[in-house]
């Protein structure tokens, strides 16, 4: 499998997980699948493959720039396909992991998460911000003071 085929595979690989969390969040199969770490092992394998290839793609005289990175250095590194693919695999893995955390927060607390998951799919940190704001607004407007002090879902471990 070449770098482009693996890139296409990784992009398609994550979609069923996002689809399950967004479209069928309360389905037992979704809950069972999202308990597994297997998707992250697969994505970590993709990332490791790309990472090894990206290290080989960076000229040895440029590696010192990574110790004190400048934006222009990072842009130059990411202009290489192998480095860009490693970065993309990194995004796919961590965005899905973050989405899984948001999903489980919703399952455990009953807080609505679909909008945050959709945002997380396309822009992970914005989805995280959406979820945090949703939790705060839910606690502020839809729970009694007794429930609020008993459990803040933003502090629970996932």
64-104 confidence digits (pLDDT tens): 666 778 898 888 888 889 889 999 999 999 999 999 999 99
Cβ atoms of 47 and 93 within 8 Å: the answer is yes
Domains in the chain: boundaries = 3-150
Q: What is the pTM of this model?
A: 0.85
Selected residue with higher pLDDT from 148 and 100:
100
**Encoded tokens for 24:** 């069928």
pLDDT recorded at residue 140: 92
CA dihedral 55, 56, 59, 62 (to 10 degrees): 10
Q: Residue 29: exposed, middle, or buried by beta-carbon count in 10 A (0-12, 13-18, 19+)? A: exposed
Q: Which of 35-39, 70-74, 103-107 has the lowest mean pLDDT?
A: 70-74
Cβ atoms of 103 and 64 within 8 Å: the answer is no
Cα–Cα distance, 158 to 154 (Å, whole number): 10
Distances (CA, A) of 62 to 48, 74, 75: 21, 10, 12
């Amino acid at each position: 499998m070449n770098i482009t085929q693996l890139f296409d595979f990784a992009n398609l690989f994550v979609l069923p997980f996002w689809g399950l969390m967004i479209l069928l969040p309360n389905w037992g199969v979704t809950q069972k699948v999202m308990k597994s770490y297997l998707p992250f092992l697969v994505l970590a394998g993709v990332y490791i493959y790309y990472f090894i290839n990206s290290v080989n793609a960076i000229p040895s005289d440029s590696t010192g720039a990574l110790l004190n990175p400048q934006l222009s250095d990072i842009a130059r590194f990411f202009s290489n396909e192998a480095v860009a693919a490693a970065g993309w695999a990194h995004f796919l893995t961590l965005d899905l992991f973050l989405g899984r955390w948001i999903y489980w927060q919703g399952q455990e607390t009953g807080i609505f998460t679909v909008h945050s998951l959709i945002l997380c799919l396309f822009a992970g940190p914005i989805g995280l911000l959406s979820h945090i704001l949703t939790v705060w607004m839910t606690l502020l407007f839809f729970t009694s003071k007794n429930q609020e002090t008993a459990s803040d879902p933003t502090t629970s471990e996932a």
